[in-house]
Amino acid sequence: MIRRRESKSGVRWDVGWLEGDRKQRKKTFRTKRDAQAFENELLRSRQLGAFARDEPSKQSVRDYLDSWFAGHGPTWSPKTVNQRRSACQAWIVPMIGSVPLAELGPARVREWRTDMAGRTTPGNANAVVAVLSAALGAAVNDGLLPYNPCAGMRRLRVPKATRERPEWREARRLLPYFERPEDRLRAALMLMAGLRPSEASALAWGDVRDDHLLISSSMHGTIIQPTKTKIVRVCPIFEELRVELSIVNRRGDRDWVAPSPTGSAMNTHNYSVRFFAPAARRAGVKTTQYGLRHAAATWMLVDLGIPPVLVASYLGHSPEVLLRVYADALPTGRFPVREPPR
């Protein structure tokens, strides 16, 4: 059993267990992760009983990975098989494939990761370590290792990616490159009303009023859910969006505003791959669906001069989040103060 304890040196985690003579034993760790790894090893040893190995296997990492794929691979999805095989072939086997499992301790694993991190991105290094950890975890379950040397390793810090946030007029250039009016309208909803992609999928004609959009739900796969913030919000229909709405014939209140070619709700991934990305390439505009939403925010703040509090309500943000994300788009030393169009 793991117990949390306050000490003069900070928080400590105690693992307690009973030995064969019913004697109470305890071991203390600095982190809960280390305590959990130790407790897992205790449980594993009890389950294996007399079949537990006294020493780690001398089988090489390369040979074990082959048996790991042969024994466990049939239960994985094709995507998982390809991802794990690629990681093994590119980073694990060439670098530590000849190392026996018996010599693959935490220090050796950290050395390998440091070497790998100097050749690839932190995110990819973390993904490869996760593959090795999965393999060694299986080795522990098979009794080939006393513990997983990857357990407790902290992930490398991944720098936050800079979002592609095109200027509104630049993003608008991709609209003529959509072949279907519905696909163009979906992009316009993100670009001119700041809808999230999942919200654009869930927008029905009954949510389109005379002068505003009622944004109350989002579409995840085929399931309708509340918006990300669980708040129903209203966004005005600006003149640019009114023009785009007029291009598509309005249907019944329960029909989707921007459906798929079959009339069902548009899947955000399918839209990105089949319609959005080709249109962006033809237009020469480097952006994503979320990039249109970001462009809408800066357009409302700077070009339309709408106060940040109102823009935050239109996009479903708190004012604090809006100002933190879009502070670089605001004019230096002042905020826009003009009223929104009616």
* CA 102 to chain CA mean position, Å: 35
**Structural domains of the chain in order of their starting residue, each with its CATH number:** 2-141 (1.10.150.130), 168-329 (1.10.443.10)
Asked if 307 and 337 touch (Cβ cutoff 8 Å), the reply is yes
Q: What is the mean pLDDT of residues 17-40?
A: 80
End-to-end CA distance of the chain: 63
Alpha helices (H) along 194-304: 197-202, 239-247, 268-271, 277-283, 289-298
Q: What is the mean pLDDT of residues 5-9?
A: 85
Model pLDDT for residues 258-290, shown as the tens digit of each residue: 999 999 999 999 999 999 999 999 999 999 999
Top pLDDT among 93 and 321 is at 93
Residue 110 confidence class, pLDDT cut points 50, 70, 90: very high
Tell me whether residue 110 is exposed, middle or buried, using C-beta atoms within 10 angstroms of its C-beta: 0 to 12, 13 to 18, 19 or more: middle
| pLDDT over threshold 70, residue 327 | no
For residue 320, the model assigns a pLDDT of 86
pTM of the shown model: 0.55
- Max intra-chain CA distance, the chain: 82
For residue 173, the model assigns a pLDDT of 95
Using CA atoms, how far apart are residues 161 and 112, in angstroms rounded to an integer? 25
Extract the tokens encoding 191.
């670009």
How many other C-beta atoms are found inside a 10 Å radius of the C-beta of residue 63? 14
Using CA atoms, how far apart are residues 195 and 59, in angstroms rounded to an integer? 55
* Radius of gyration for the alpha carbons in the chain, expressed in angstroms and rounded: 28
Mean pLDDT, the chain, rounded, equals 87
Q: What is the mean pLDDT of residues 111-121?
A: 94
Residue 28 three-state SS? strand
Model pLDDT for residues 123-161, shown as the tens digit of each residue: 999 999 999 999 999 998 888 888 899 988 899 998 876
For residue 102, the model assigns a pLDDT of 87
Q: What is the mean pLDDT of residues 54-61?
A: 75
Asked if 199 and 249 touch (Cβ cutoff 8 Å), the reply is no
Residue 58 confidence class, pLDDT cut points 50, 70, 90: confident
Extract the tokens encoding 323.
């100002």
For residue 261, the model assigns a pLDDT of 94
| pLDDT over threshold 60, residue 107 | yes
Model pLDDT for residues 165-207, shown as the tens digit of each residue: 788 999 999 999 999 999 999 999 999 999 999 999 999 999 9
Tell me whether residue 316 is exposed, middle or buried, using C-beta atoms within 10 angstroms of its C-beta: 0 to 12, 13 to 18, 19 or more: buried
Using CA atoms, how far apart are residues 280 and 33, in angstroms rounded to an integer? 45
Measured at the CA of 35, the angle between CA 32 and CA 39, to 5 degrees, comes to: 135
| pLDDT over threshold 80, residue 256 | yes
| pLDDT over threshold 50, residue 50 | no
* Nearest to 172, CA basis, from 267, 270, 303, 266: 303
Q: What is the mean pLDDT of residues 47-57?
A: 53
Q: What is the mean pLDDT of residues 230-239?
A: 94
% residues pLDDT > 90 (the chain): 61
How many other C-beta atoms are found inside a 10 Å radius of the C-beta of residue 59? 15
Residues with Cβ within 8 Å of 68's Cβ and at least 6 positions away in sequence, in order, are 135, 138, 139
For residue 155, the model assigns a pLDDT of 92
For residue 335, the model assigns a pLDDT of 45
